[in-house]
Every structure is written in structure tokens, then in C-alpha cells.
Chain A
Amino acid sequence: MTESDVIQTGIYGLDQIFLGGILKGNVILVEGAAGVGKTLLGLEFIYRGITEHDEPGIIVVFETSPRKLIRDATGFGWNLDEQQQRNKLKIIFTSPKVLDQELRSPNSLLLETAAGIGAQRIFIDGISLLRTLATGNGASGNGAASYRDLLQQFIEGLQRENLTAVLSHEVLAHQEESSALEVAEFLADTVIILKREHLHRSILRSLEVMKSRGQDYEPGKHTLRITAGKGLEVFRRVQLRARGVPTQPTSEKRSPIGCAPLDALIGGGIYDGSTTMVVGISGAGKTVLGVQLLLEGALKQGKRGMLVSLDEHPAQILRNAATLGMDLKEQIDTGMIQFLYDSPQELEIDAHFDRIIRTIEEHKIERLLIDGMTSYSSALGDQGLYRDFIHSLVAYTKNKLMTTFFNYENPELFGVSNYMPDFAISSIVDNLILMNFVELGTSLRRAITVAKARGSEHEFVTREYTIGPGGISLLPMEEGKGLPVLPFQSYYGLLSRAPTRISADLPRGGEGGAFRDAT
């Protein structure tokens, strides 16, 4: 399929769903209930055709007045009046009967008008009204069969004129209408289903391609958004595997995180293209470590970064970084670091994923910090969707050999009995860093452990760290001054991850436990 074989709708994201566009000359049926955006899709198809591809178009309406269409289009920034004045567009009000006659007539005024402006696209709003002509007129006396004949003749007429047509068809509950729709679905080359569904108290719009003759497309329900001033936006569903991606690349190169002792702990920095999960309770310093990673990349390695947050607004993160002497704002101002904030309320994950990917592509991002995995899990409330999102993001960033940090807020104040108590996805990341509080005497101290580092000889020790100017710093290990390491039999409470050394004064038990004899 070459570029000249397809017609691009120009609707954001829709051509991507059709892997580049819809085959020229295809009759495209857009179906859905009232209010799903059928007319809008047809209008945008015509408008983008004129303004982006210099393909004039015709809009045929049976019930709506052209003036109202023009008014409504203005709300999306589409000046249809101007296009009519430029002779690139004609909005024609007619009846189903006249349209049917006109498409069959060799002397057609409609087709003469279309030819007059060099129309290549046509949008007919409300094709289901043709059904009213068919009832009782079929050769077999069967309404549906005669409608089929009528529609077939109608489609033939459109193809004869080499017009790529979008036909909107309303979905109604009655049996008669649904069989009419089935006929239309069968005869059309491409069928697009638009839906508007309730999820709890919110509305989810979706677009699904049911079929498209002669070409492949992305299957499943994709997110559809209708935005004033913009129009339609289609977001490929996040679960889909990327197409045309070769074998996943792997890098031998390691890069510093921005904290030398931590780099040493993890085995000499992290591999480019690796993913790291930082697990810890709120206040442990996960965001600070992530900002360090981004600043190290931007300032010392010339790597552009991006911070994605559902938790904290940009101003707050900038302020907090500034209090630690970390000039994140300057890097954002120079464009070395991008900040992407989305509200977790009614998060549309397909649209959010698209925004992340678009920003990465536009700004050539090499380091990514996803700050606040817990907000995703609570916003989505669906384990499958959450996993799909993380899997897709990991797959994408690995293919780009990006360095990615995911911050996960673990609810446990001390120790970690479970890396991710809600939706566990720690198995898909390469590195796992634990940041916890440790209570010593009356003070809370901070401890960091690298629990996992794929392909690295990382140190399996827990180190103390502080948060201060420049970010987190690991306190030095004083050689020879640590407590002697004793065998497990010398402790009790091992499962608590806070074992206590058994006092030398206590009576010692035999094999199996210090207190067996005592109890």
C-alpha cells in the first residue's frame, strides 16, 4: 500500500489507526447513536481534506440546516463559509429521494456541482434516511432487501464518480433499523463504530474499526476525544503492541545516576535503556533522586529528560527542588527537561500515553521519570489496564534505549514486606531500589538498598543516606567500625526485617532456636 493509494482523513490519530490512511475510493460508514460524533467526524474529514490535502469536498445533509453546520464547525475553528467562498466546499441540503435520483442520473445537478469544484471527498449525513424510500418498494416485497438494492446502487453511484465517501448511519434500537444497519455494514468498505459509554459517573468515548477492505488497521476500541477548538482526537489503545519494531536493542553502556556512591552500589551506574523502580514511603526522597537523575543527564551528559507527574503540580516540584539547590527550573526553561502534569481525575490512559510519547518524540527525551505510580493504579482502578500501560511504556522506552525511573509509593513505614502491595509489576523492571525509614533510638534515619540490578554486580548492602543540598547523599561506610556480622542464629525476629541481636548473657539453646529450652 503506497501513499498515493490512501486518503488521509487528517483527523488526529485516525490515520495512525488505519496505518497511514484509508484506501482511496473506499465507502466509509460511520455508525453510532445520537451524540457520538458522527457528523463531526464527517465534517472534519471534509474540512481537513480541503485545508491539509487540497481535496475539495461536498457535504450533503437531509435534516440539519447548512447554516447550523457552519455555526457548529466554527466552534472547532473550522471556517466552512470561507471554504465555500473559495469554491472548495459545497454544503447541499436535499432529500434522500433527490439524492438517490441524482446519483443515478446522467444529468445530475449534484454531480455537476461536485465536478465543478473538483470534489474528491463527500460526506452524506444520515444515510439511514434512505431506508424510508425502500420500504415496500423492493422487488421481493421485503423492506430490507430493497434497501440493500437501493444502497448498492447508491454506493455504485459514488464509486462511479471516484469520490471517497463518508456516510453517517444512526444506530437505533428497533429491529427494522438494526437490520438496515447490518446491510449498510455489509456493503460499505470501511466501517467505523463510535460509542459513548458511561463508566461510573463519567463518559468514555471510543472509536473502533469494524472492517476496512484491502488494508490492515489497529483493532480494538481506541479512545476518542472531542475538544472545542480542535475537533476529534483518536488515541490508539495503549495495550496494542508497537508495529514494525525490530528486536529490542540492548546497550552495554552505563551512565551515572547523579549520586556516585549509589552508582557504585548499583554496580557502576545504570545501563542505558534500563528501567528502574524506586520503592519507598512518602518522604523517603524518591522524587529528589529522580530529579537528580534528570539533572545529571541534562547538565553533565547532554541528555534531555522528562518528568511525568500525576501527584504534584510543576510549581511545587520546582519549589522543592530549589530548596535543595537543584535548579530544575533553569533546565525546564532551556528545554533540556520537560514537565508533563496530568490530573489523575478521569484519567484517559490512551490519551495520557499518547501525550507522553509525543513529548518524547518531539523533544528527543533520553531520561524519563514517572513520579507517582500509585496515582496511576488508583486513577485507573483496573489491574489489567495498569499493567498494560506500564508494559507499553517499558517496551517503548527500552526500544528507544531511554533510562526510565518509576517511583512507587509503598505504604509501609518501616521495612518492605511487599514491593508493590496493590498491582505488582516489579518483575518487568531491571533495577529495584528500596528507600525506607529506619528508627534508631528516638530518631528516624533513611536507608537505601539496591534489591535488584539486572546484569550488574550490585552490592547487597543497606546504606544510610541524607537529603540535603544537591539531593540525596550516601553516608560513608566506616571500615572496621561496623558491628561484627554474625550467623543468623545470633538474631531473633529475622522475618520482621528488623532483627535483634541475642544478648550474650542469655542462655543459648541448641540447634533450632535460642529460646526453645526457655519456653
Chain B
Amino acid sequence: MAQDNQPDLQVEGWLKTLGIESLCHWDVLVFLYRHQPTLVRAEHIARLLGDATAEVVAALDSLESSGLVQPSRVSQGVRLYQLTAPADPARRDALGRLMTLADSHTVRLLLGRRLRGNDRPDQNKKAVRLRGE
């Protein structure tokens, strides 16, 4: 079961280790975790998450370049998205721990707080940088 009372600092540390920088980034990661392997267009994921396609594409590219998503060839505009465990032990550990929080609000709340902490006027905008990054 997910732990809702995980210390924020620890969670922040895991997010930083994996390079997760925004709510959209996090939502895409959790979506792929729940739906892997996913054989869809980025637009389809964006539609299901309620995000802008450009943001989802950016998040998918970022996850792939950071080695969290297995690279796949393109078939008629479709890619097979599948999470992969990073070779680096610290990153693998961070991914494993964060995925235990996939069903809880901990990470989204934390990212939301960072958004308010940064005094961003549009609180609904999902691409939010973590403080200090």
C-alpha cells in the first residue's frame, strides 16, 4: 500500500534523482507505470490525462532520454512505451520507491505546494519547476 506520510524531503530527493520536474512529467510517468506497455500516440495519452499534447510529448522525450522509458521504433505514428529499470542503483531505488506512491496524493500534493511556493499566478498550470532547480 502507498505511504501518504512519506517525508517530503525524501520524496523530493527521489524526484530530483529521476529528474521529474513537473506535474505533467509525474502524471506521464505514473500513467506509463499503470499502463505499461502502452501502444498509443502521445496525443492519446494527453487526452486521457487532460494535458496539452506538447507537454506530454516533452515529458515522454525526457523520460526516454533519462533512460526511464525503453526506446521504441515508430509504427504509423505509434510507439510502444514501456518503463525500464535504470542501471544506476540510486535511480532504480528512487523509481521503485516513487512507484509505491503512484496511488497516493503525496507526490502531486508536494508538486502542488512547490507551485504555490513559487507564487506562480496560474495554479492550474501543470508544468511547474521544483524549488531550487
Chain B residues near A90 (CB-CB < 8 A):
37
A442 located at the interface, meaning its Cβ lies under 8 Å from any Cβ of chain B in the complex = no
Question: Are B73 and A93 in touch, CB under 8 angstroms?
Answer: no
Q: A66-B35, A67-B35, A92-B38 are in contact. Are A101 and B76 (CB under 8 A)?
A: yes
Question: Are A65 and B35 in touch, CB under 8 angstroms?
Answer: yes
CB closest chain-B residue, reference A90: B37
Q: A94-B39, A94-B40, A109-B39 are in contact. Are A67 and B75 (CB under 8 A)?
A: no
* Partner pick for A66 among B34, B73, B76, B80, CB 8 A cutoff: B34
B residues 1-48 near A (Cβ < 8 Å) are 33-41, 44
Instruction: Convert B65-103 into 0s and 1s, putting 1 for each residue whose CB lies closer than 8 angstroms to a CB of A.
Output: 000000011011011100000000000000000000000
Chain B residues near A102 (CB-CB < 8 A):
39, 75-76, 78
B interface size (C-beta, 8 A) = 17
Question: Are A95 and B72 in touch, CB under 8 angstroms?
Answer: no
Instruction: For the complex formed, measure the closest distance between the CB of A105 and the CB atoms of chain B, giving whole angstroms.
Output: 6
Whole-angstrom CA separation of A93 from B38 in the bound complex: 5
Q: A65-B35, A66-B34, A109-B72 are in contact. Are A93 and B78 (CB under 8 A)?
A: no
Chain A residues near B79 (CB-CB < 8 A):
109
Whole-angstrom CA separation of A90 from B39 in the bound complex: 12
CB closest chain-B residue, reference A107: B75
Question: Are A109 and B80 in touch, CB under 8 angstroms?
Answer: yes
A467 located at the interface, meaning its Cβ lies under 8 Å from any Cβ of chain B in the complex = no
Chain B residues near A109 (CB-CB < 8 A):
39, 72-73, 75, 78-80
Whole-angstrom CA separation of A66 from B35 in the bound complex: 5
User: What are the 9 A-B residue pairs with the smallest beta carbon separation, nearest first?
Assistant: A93-B35, A94-B39, A67-B34, A65-B34, A109-B75, A93-B38, A109-B80, A98-B78, A65-B35
- Residue positions of B touching A, CB distance < 8 A: 33-41, 44, 72-73, 75-76, 78-80
Other CB < 8 Å A-B pairs besides A67-B35, A102-B75, A107-B75, 17 of them? A66-B35, A67-B33, A67-B34, A92-B37, A92-B38, A92-B80, A93-B37, A94-B38, A94-B40, A95-B41, A98-B41, A99-B39, A101-B76, A102-B78, A105-B76, A109-B73, A109-B75
- Residue positions of A touching B, CB distance < 8 A: 65-68, 90-95, 98-99, 101-102, 105, 107-110, 113
